Each structure stands twice: as structure tokens, then as C-alpha cells.
Amino acid sequence: MSTTHLGMPGLPPPAHPAFPPFPEAAHDAVRDERLRGNLRHATTTIRAKRAHAVAELEDWRRLREAGKRIKDHTLRHLDRYLVQLEDAVTAAGGTVHWALDAAEANRIVTDLVKATGEHEVVKVKSMATQEIGLNEALEAAGIRAYETDLAELIVQLGKDRPSHILVPAIHRNRGEIRDIFRTQMAAWGRPAPDDLSDTPAELAEAARLHLREKFLRAKVGISGANFMVAETGTLVVVESEGNGRMCLTLPDTLISVVGIEKILPTWRDLEVFLQTLPRSSTAERMNPYTSMWTGTTDGDGPRDFHLVLLDNGRTDTLADDVGRQALRCIRCSACLNVCPVYERAGGHAYGSVYPGPIGAILSPQLRGTHSDIDASLPYASSLCGACYDVCPVAIDIPEVLVHLRERVVQGGEVTREGNKVVLKPARGHGGERAAMRAARWAFSHPAVLRGGQRLASRTRRLHPRTLPGPGRAWTGTRDLPEAPAEPFRDWWQRTHGGEEDDK
């Protein structure tokens, strides 16, 4: 079987979408009462169900630690396990392709579809293909991609963007979905009934009938994967609707686009994640559909199987000792459902296929922090730590957020496209850097610090509620803390007879 290799020259990467910085996008989103209502209802419901499902397992903490260790071990030895996976997939009759970036992955998939002579494909939800803009690349080549996940179908018909990892149409209510089906379904295939209501059963039935003709007609399927097993070359997709099973078994050709971090060393490692993923995502004890396939088999399933292993910034992320833990992510979306920022701003404000806390640390690493949106994402958090508490693989998201904020403000050495480069500090942070240098000097000189505290206390009635100049960026969303009437050290000396105690 032919194999292309990581590092081959590809086409130029697609242009970065002109998304506004997070504060600007969130400023508009938080004023959309219907959006906030949809998000509040959905995340509250999912959050409560997940807590109940997790509480059923007495060994949840041990499972969480096991998942973390398996992922960390795999990332440390990723080169070895990827080669093992390639050998196993090839031995089972599949073909492995290595894509350095989005452009190369899109070219590979487009060429594979063209080789079949087909002009349409069915897709099972894949964040990797959304990350690289595969649908748009296929459309440019005259190939139409049909999303078959219900929520992805809603997003596609509505000419929208996903706003949640697990529930991409979480920002839509039933009335909006009914209207989208009524007005848009006919342009993509079987139309919705004229008398379609907004009851879940009728909406699901309209989607089922619309998609069934596509499943039965399509000759090419495109998927992602939740996990890949290096030991056997097996790919795994977990889902709740059965559309994945149809995409993975009915077409003659199956193309799977998967990030290189989705690999696990052994079949036994799946035991941990098939317990933690469903409980963390859908609050179920197990997924209704868990599909596994290994290469090809005569007379059963697709005749041709292609695996496209996607880098697209992942090895650069791996080079960061702190940031690499983001690659543990199993896309459960638990962090989104507990995040107070996401609940109010929604997923579109993050300007990425990966919204919420995990998107705030993953996107700036995969794409770099040179754009306004990616430089702003590490600040899209209150650092409350709720995301870390619920993460099933113990990603310390607050730690990575602070790490990336330092990178934005200070610049420094990072790895981009496999090369060490030195980033310049981002624009607009000069005042912050000056303030931090001044604070460091003051804290290093106790007499200066004490004098400054006393001056602040004595002039506190004159203090403004907001800061001028660059300080507006900080006080634009919060009040300036009120200075106390007396510094703590002065109070301590006065109340303890002049004695100081540093303990």
C-alpha cells in the first residue's frame, strides 16, 4: 500500500478567518437574551446529568488519573506509536497518509474522492475536518459534503458555525430548528413536511428521512475518530444517533481524518476512556453506538479505507512542556458546560471549531498567537478552575491559560512548523509589562511598598472607578478595587503593640 509521509511539501495553508478578538465578539453575544437562555438551559441540564453519572463510579478519580497517565505516556512516545499504527493499518488492508497541515490534508482527501469519480460524500461529525475547512475545500473542487449528525445537519442547513463540541447547535432552540428545516432542507435533498412542528420527535423524523436517501446513495464516507489503537490499527467512533454506523459501513470508500494525538497504545487502554468519555459528555454509562473498524474485510464494509493522520500544529504543541497537556483532550465538552464565560458568551465568540476553555488553550497553540482572536483567547476565562475539576484527563486548563497569557505579553521562544522561533510581545500590552516591572521593583523594596500603600489609603477618596489609558482594558469589565482605610501592616502594628510577625 502506498504511503505519503509527514513533512512533504503541501499547498499554502488557507487564509485565517477574520474573526474579531474574543472581547468584541463576546460583547455582542452576552446581549443576545435568546442565546443566553438557550445556553443556560442546555449547559445546566447537561452539567447536572454529568455530575450524577460520574458520582455512580467509586473509582472515578482513579480512572481520571489512569486516563491522564495513558495520554501522557502516549504523547512522550508518539513517534513510536504512530509508526506502529501505520504498520497495523497497512497490514489490515488500509492506506495511511500523513498531512503536515490543513492544506495538505484537504488536498489528499479531495484527490481520494476525485479518484472514485464521485461528486458527493456523507460525513460523520469530525472536528478535525472542521478544523481544516474540508467541506469548503471539497466544495471548491465540485464535491458536496453532507453532514449526517443531527446537530451538524442543523448547522449546515442554517449556514451557521458550530458553537459546542458535543452539541454544535446548542445555540438553537426547537422553533429555530423547525424554521431551518422548513426553509432549507429542500435545497439539500428531501424537503421537510409542510406541517412540521417543533416537537423533538417530528424534527428527528424529518432529519431521518432527509438523511436516509443520502446514506443509501453515497459511495464515499468521511469520518473522524475518537481513538486509534496502535496495537491493532483499529479506529473507534462513539456516537448517539447511529449516523456514524451508517457512514462507516455503507459506502464503498471510507476516508478517516484524525489528529495524531488521538492514538492509544493498546486495546486495553480503551477500557478507561470508554468509561470516562460517555459520562463526561452525554452523562451516559456507555455510548449507544460504539463503532470499531480495522482496515478492510472482503464482503463487509468499505472496500477501500484511507487514514489521513493530521498534524496541523500538534507537534509544535507537543514541544511545549506546559501546553502539551491540551493534547490529552478527548473532546468530551465537560469543561464548556461548567464554564461561566462560555455559558454567557457562547461558542461563536471563540472564533474556532474548538470553543470554551479547551479551545482557549488549544486554538492558540495549533494556530499560533499572531492573530487578534488567538492572542485574546487565553484571556477568555475567569480562572475559576471549574474546567480542571471536571476534565476526565486532568488537563490543568488554568495553568495553560496563564502560560499562554505570559507568551502573549512577553513573547519568547516557541516552536512553529518544527522550527524554534522567537515571538515578539503582542501589541497593546506595553502598559501591562511596564506595570508588572514597576510592581516587581516595588515588592523588592519594602520601604517603597509601604509608602505607596499609605499614600493609596490616604488618597482613596480621590481614586477613580476606572483607569485611564491602557488601564481601560482592565477596568472596562470590572471596578477598580477600593483601597482600605489603613494598610494591613499599619493595622497590625497598631493592634499588636508595634510588634511585627512575618509568620
241: CB partners within 8 A, 6+ apart: 149, 150, 288, 289
Instruction: Give tens-digit pLDDT for 114-170.
Output: 999 999 999 997 899 999 999 999 999 999 999 999 999 999 999 999 999 988 988
Mean pLDDT, rounded, of the chain: 91
Give pLDDT tens digits for 193-221. 999 999 999 999 999 999 999 999 999 99
Helix (H, G, I), strand (E, B) or coil at 375: helix
442: left (phi over 0), alpha (psi -120 to 50) or beta: alpha
Residue 124: closest CA among 226, 273, 34: 226
Q: What is the CA radius of gyration of the chain?
A: 26
**3-state SS record for 34-99:** HHHHHHHHHHHHHHHHHHHHHHCCCCHHHHHHHHHHHHHHHHHCHHHHHHHHHHHHHHCCCEEEEE
Check pLDDT > 60 for residue 10: no
Task: Identify whether the C-beta of residue 249 lies closer than 8 Å to the C-beta of residue 285.
Answer: no
Instruction: Give the C-alpha separation, 422 to 420, whole Å.
Output: 7
Beta carbons of 270 and 229 less than 8 angstroms apart: yes
Record the cell numbers describing residue 185, joined without a space. Answer: 432542507
pLDDT digits (tens, 9 = 90+) for 238-281: 998 999 999 999 999 999 999 999 999 999 999 999 999 999 99
Backbone dihedral angles phi then psi of residue 235, each to the nearest 5 degrees: -110, 150
| pLDDT at res. 11 | 34
Rounded CA-CA distance 170/151 in Å is: 8
pTM: 0.87
Q: What are the tens digits of pLDDT across the range 291-319? A: 999 999 998 999 999 999 999 999 999 99
Where does the pLDDT of residue 480 fall: very low under 50, low under 70, confident under 90, or very high at 90 and above? confident
Per-residue pLDDT tens digits for 83-117: 999 999 999 999 999 999 999 999 999 999 999 99
pLDDT tens string 439-477: 899 899 999 999 999 998 999 888 888 888 777 777 777
Residue pointed to by grid coordinates 432552540: 173
Query: Can you spell out the DSSP letters for 276-304?
Result: HHHHHHT--SS-SEEEEEES-BTTBS-SE
Cell 486554538: give the residue: 363
Q: Which residues contact 475 (CB under 8 A, 6 or more apart)?
A: 465, 466, 467
Nearest-5° angle of CA 88, CA 228, CA 78?
Answer: 80
**Locate cell 473532546: which residue?**
331
Confidence of residue 17 (pLDDT cuts 50, 70, 90): low
